[in-house]
Chains A and B, each alone.
Chain A
Amino acid sequence: MAKRKTPMLDELEKGRWPSFVSDMKQEAAAREKTKVDLQTPREACDDLLSLMELSYEDKVGHWKHGGIVGVFGYGGGVIGRYCDQPEQFPAVRDFHTMRVNQPSSYFYTTEHLRKICDLWERRGSGLTNMHGSTGDMILLGTTTPQLEEIFWELTHDLKQDLGGSGSNLRTPNCCIGKARCEFACYDTQHLCHSFTMEYQDELHRPAFPYKFKFKFDGCPNGCVASIARADMSVIGTWRDDIRIDQEAVRAYVGGDFKPNAGAHAGRNWGPFDIEKEVIHLCPTHCMAWDGKNLKINNKECIRCMHCINTMPRALRIGEDTGASILFGAKAPILEGAQLSTLVVPFMKIEEPYDELKELIENVWDWWSEGGKNRERLGEMMQREGLGKLMEVCGLKADPRSIKEPRSNPYIFWKEEDVAGGWERDIKEYRKKHQK
């Protein structure tokens, strides 16, 4: 039983949305009577509920700052956590998180999940996050002596490893991609898995100035938000023509197919109007509809996905597919939020992904050498300039990397840009110009 009454949390058992409080109570009740040989305190969920109630009363959290724990040889994957009221809530005195590296796009067999449940019931609090925002499966709440035991069982019995935390590569993450999405321009799952395997050392042994995230979106719709939160965003795209099934376009116009796959079914928006809903909304106005056929001037298309999303049965991404590579997104800490910047407009994404690996390794070398402590790549790009990053990657300047050219003329010319260099002679100058 919880140590204190939890009237405020109990409020959150009401209402229709799944209640995490009910879930925690369910877990607490199961722990109370289980015959499993529990290795962390039986009252962990109860004490966590009581501690949460205290936070609800005080309107501040009750976890101590940090705490360095981990498994041997790894610099990441475990986040130390200690309660700041250990006497009151001894069962959550130490309550560390383990980040378990998730399989690409979160498909599981129940057989595997049940093994994880068994492991975490016995050795942890029984509570998880499915999943954390970085991507990992998050196992919440265990004690220091359990860490090695869990790691052992995870690797030996479940054949699964920890993810990243700290100043290292964070667990890569991808959208569902070709597994179940017709818009995927490359195999996000395979690339994500291969890169995770390739860079295990970077994932587990911090050697970077700060964290580094890869995320893989299969198309410009961006379902894993790579453009907003990855230091390297790989976003699928194509460079030939959108494939059109004119018959199907007519079926949309005729009302036989629901636009946008039926996404607007909750409200009466009137009949589908291709002029209003597609032709005029195309950001580059590169489409035309003559009442029978749809034309796209593909050279002007910026592949925003709107027409394809709106008529998925009639329009398909092109066949010459690959990805755009962008760098430098981050949340506000420290220098303000940044979105990723387009650095490579198009790259073929095919095994063994050598070109992409070379690119990322060049970037890492540059950042590892020049980055300040806790400086994200995006911040270093601001400090050193996009041009410098392109130079390091051996890329030529490309107007696709900018929204507009500079409006200030403060150009940092280099000496080699000027014929004859910068050496001049003031005496020669004085011959023509008096003081």
Chain B
Amino acid sequence: MAYNPSDPMKDRITDIGPRNYEDFLPPVIKRNFGRWLYHDILEPGVLVHVSETGEKVYTVRVGGARLMGVQHIREICDIADKHCDGHVRWTTRNNIEFMVDAEAKLKPLMEDLEKRKFAGGSHKFPRGGTGAGLTNIVHTQGWIHCHTPATDASGVVKAVMDELYDDFQKMRFPAQVRISLACCLNMCGAVHCSDIAILGIHRMPPMIDHENLGNMCEIPLAIAACPTGAIKPTTVDGKKSVEVKNERCMFCGNCYTMCPCMPLADEVGSGIALLVGGKLSNRISPPMFSKVVVPFLPNEPPRWPQTVEAIKKILYTYMEDAKKYERLGNWAQRIGWERFFEKTGLPFTEHLIDDYRFAYTTWRTSTQFKF
């Protein structure tokens, strides 16, 4: 039975939902479901989970570029067929996990993964991403596939991960470090709670295509979309359109989301902001937001050197200075933000003082500070 375009509704099925995960669990996982006692990281990227039944499952975690072609996925399937009885899983941070049910199967699997490389020379399956190290950077679409980005995603991530490759494999940080990237303020992904967040931002108000706006956009929706009330209706050359009070605009792009006749991406205006100190686990301290510490860096394809440099500076200062178990944000809080800027050498500028709603909650209202 195949789809019949002349009778599209015939035998149509809808709302069947995802495949049931139970159909896909490896047998050792199924047998020990809910009975795991503890786990150990045997070496970076290699975990063992021990069950109360005495069974063990060994996991090899490898990093992946989230963008994958089906040829690559088929190669993953070949490996899983050869070593893991045809089972494989992905993690929330775009890693791939190969699981085996006996220690003897571990070494051949690791060797197999190790030797596979892309034609350009990069590793296909770098092992790591566990413990007090760096895991894969979760990221969004960027110039590959989205309409509102202020920066690219996959390219920036590749540039950063090439430089931090050893830290993906080494577990030498005081606690785990999560880096995330979102290519615009919509933040498809939890960058607002990451140890280091790479965020695409714009700096120029929307251009207005008066010629087409009246036809292509719902003007009241565009006006309502603006969080700062910067947009007003107007008439230009007899056509209904809008105007933007530039000094009220904080470049969120929300109007463009509602109205394609208000684009704001620009070669000079758009780029990257860096935020630090967010976390979302409840371990020791409650979840926290990331805070802006670099207000703007230009887009510098293909390798974004200034972004990579700033991230390394932050990361390695933290690595040297923080205490065991201390997340990046907890370290910054302990030493104080004045020290954070001093130690990392990042310039503190007026753009880092909040001037949006609730800004007051971030101002210092005491005389307790450090010289």
Contact = CB atoms under 8 A, between A and B. Distances in A.
B302 A9 contact: yes
B118 interface: yes
A61 B143 CA distance: 5
B142 A61 contact: yes
A250 interface: no
Interface in B45-99: 49, 57, 59, 63-74, 76-78, 80-81, 86-92, 94, 96
B29 A309 contact: no
A279 B159 CA distance: 40
Interface string A86-129: 00000000010100011111111111111011101100001111
B120 A196 contact: no
Nearest to A131: B90
Contact of B171 (A140, A161, A228, A264): A264
Contacts of B221: 373
A84 B285 CA distance: 47
Interface residues of B, number: 140
Interface stretch (A182-190, A343-351, A387-395, A426-434): A182-190
A265 B131 contact: yes
Contacts of B59: 180
B72 A26 contact: yes
Given A20-B158, A128-B70, A264-B131, A149 B3 contact: yes
B149 to A, nearest CB: 5
Interface stretch (A62-70, A290-298, A357-365, A412-420): A62-70
A253 B159 CA distance: 41
B318 to A, nearest CB: 13
Contacts of B141: 129
B214 interface: no
- Interface majority SS (helix, strand, loop, mixed), chain B: loop
Contacts of B303: 11-12
A19 B118 contact: yes
Residues of A in contact with B, size category: 35 or more
Interface in A267-317: 267, 269, 277, 281, 283, 303-306, 309-310, 312-313, 316
B289 A339 contact: yes
Contact of A182 (B39, B77, B301): B39
A133 B138 contact: yes
Closest 4 CB pairs of A and B: A13-B120, A263-B131, A27-B69, A15-B162
Interface of A: 8-27, 30, 45, 48, 52, 55-56, 58-66, 72-74, 81, 95, 97, 101-114, 116-118, 120-121, 126-135, 140-141, 148-149, 152-153, 155-156, 158-161, 163, 173, 175-176, 178-182, 184, 187, 189, 193, 196-197, 200-201, 204, 220-225, 227-229, 258, 260-267, 269, 277, 281, 283, 303-306, 309-310, 312-313, 316, 331-337, 339, 373-374
Interface of B: 1-3, 5, 8-9, 12-21, 23-26, 29, 33-34, 36-44, 49, 57, 59, 63-74, 76-78, 80-81, 86-92, 94, 96, 118-126, 130-133, 138, 140-149, 152, 154-155, 158-159, 161-162, 165, 168, 170-173, 176, 182, 185-193, 221, 224-225, 227, 252, 254, 256, 260, 263, 265-267, 270, 278, 280-285, 287, 289, 299, 301-303, 324-325, 356-358
